[in-house]
Amino acid sequence: MYAGVIAVQGDVAEHAAAIENAAAAHDEPAEVVEVRESGIVPDCDVLLMPGGESTTISRLIHQEGIADEIRDHVAAGKPVLATCAGLIVCSRDAKDDRVDPLSVVDVTVDRNAFGRQKDSFEAKVPVEGLDEPFHAVFIRAPAIDDVGEAVETLATVDGRPVAVRDGPVVATAFHPELTADPRLHDLAFFPDSEVIA
C-alpha cells in the first residue's frame, strides 16, 4: 500500500504513524509518503487528510496543484481518511471564503462550532460498524450540519454527525490519529477486515 499523507500543514506525523500501525496490523506492507507537491497523489493507493488549520491547508493544496489530484483520487474510488481540518477541506461548503472546499464529501460544515462551546473535549462515541465505542478527541472541531443523501452518518455527538462516509471517503470531526486505536483507519482502508470489532 502506497499511502499519501497530505503534508502541507497539520498533524502529519501522527497520521503517518497511524497508517503504518494499521497496515502492520493487517500484514500489509505500507510505504508512507508526505505530499507537499503535485505529481505524487496519482501514485497513491490511499490518502490521509490531517487535522490542522483548514484555511492554510486549503490555500496550499490549491497553490501546489494537489487539490485536483485529490478530487481525481476520490473520483477513481480510492480511499481517503480526512480528520477535522481535513473534513473541512473535503466538505461541500465550509461557509468561510478562505476555504475553497474540494466537495468530495457531500456535507456542509461549521468551522470551530464545537470549539466555540469548548476548545477541546474527549468522548466515548459509538461508531457504526464498531462493537465498542471509540475514544474520540475533539480539538476546535467542526460541526457537520447538512448531510447529503448519499452520505452515511457513522457517529453523532449530541445529535450532530461527527463521522461520515461518502463513497471512498471517511471523514471525522475528531482525531483518530491521536489515539492508539486503529479502528477508524481500519474502517477507511480495510473495510472488510476482521480486526474491526
Binding site for ligand GLN (CB under 6 A): 51-54, 84-85, 88, 111-112, 115, 139-140
What is the closest distance, in whole angstroms, from the C-beta atom of residue 52 to ligand GLN in the complex? 5
**Catalytic residue, candidates 15, 73, 175, 185:** 175
Nearer residue to ligand GLN within complex by CB, 71 or 140: 140
84 is an active site residue: yes
Question: Is 194 marked as a binding-site residue?
Answer: no
- Rounded-to-integer distance, Cα 14 and Cα 193, Å: 22
Q: Is 44 a catalytic residue?
A: no
52 is in an annotated binding site: yes
Considering the candidates 69, 73, 177, 185, report the single residue annotated as catalytic: 177
Select from 177, 185, 186, 166 the least CA-distant residue to 136: 177
Q: Which lies closer to ligand GLN via its Cβ, residue 121 or residue 196?
A: 121
Could you tell me whether strands 143-147 and 152-157 are parallel, antiparallel, or unpaired per DSSP bridges?
Answer: unpaired
Q: What is the DSSP string of 142-164?
A: PEEEEE-TTPEEEEEETTEEEEE
Q: Are strands 31-35 and 2-6 parallel, antiparallel or unpaired?
A: parallel
Residue ranges for the binding site? 52-54, 111, 139-140
